[in-house]
A = this chain, B = another copy of it.
Amino acid sequence: MIPSDEFLESKGIRPTAMRLLVFQHLTKSKVATTLSDIENAFAKADRTTLFRTLKTFEQKRVVHQIDDGSGIMKYALCEEGCNCELERDLHLHFHCTNCGKTICLTEQKIPHINLPEGFVAEDANLVLKGICDKCSGQ
């Protein structure tokens, strides 16, 4: 397991204290994380800094932003070995309408869709909504 600071540096990100904390928080989380989640996790942190930290992470392809339709953006670490640098990792996301949690289903890729003449797709977002495994009692 490569240390966090080395990892961030390998991505071209200066490993400040704040960034390391955010990164490690994301590492621990099994579900996609909101800005408020992180804000609440370390009471000391300023929202703007966290916001910009996530933005930096996103630009450097450390995290991806997830719009699950809840109105609140979520973030999750990119998969190790995903080739985000070259093309987006188009896996799908599941949003539980019961507990509100959103998780990456990294194994489930968004299927290829044949579009009508003239349409060129560059990105895709597929969100399934329903009841997650925890909430369905399995």
Q: What residues make up the interface of A, taking CB atoms closer than 8 Å to B? A: 67, 69, 92, 94, 97, 105, 108, 110-111, 113-134, 136, 138
Among B97, B115, B127, point to the contact of A108 (Cβ < 8 A): B115
Contact between B122 and A113 (Cβ–Cβ < 8 Å)? no
Tell me the smallest distance from the CB of A79 to a CB of chain B, in Å.
16
Tell me the smallest distance from the CB of A91 to a CB of chain B, in Å.
11
How many copies are assembled? 2
Which residues of chain B have C-beta atoms less than 8 A from A124's C-beta? 126-129
Contact between A132 and B118 (Cβ–Cβ < 8 Å)? yes
Tell me the smallest distance from the CB of A75 to a CB of chain B, in Å.
15
Which residues of chain B have C-beta atoms less than 8 A from A117's C-beta? 133, 138
Contact between A118 and B92 (Cβ–Cβ < 8 Å)? no
Contact between B136 and A128 (Cβ–Cβ < 8 Å)? no
Tell me the smallest distance from the CB of A56 to a CB of chain B, in Å.
21
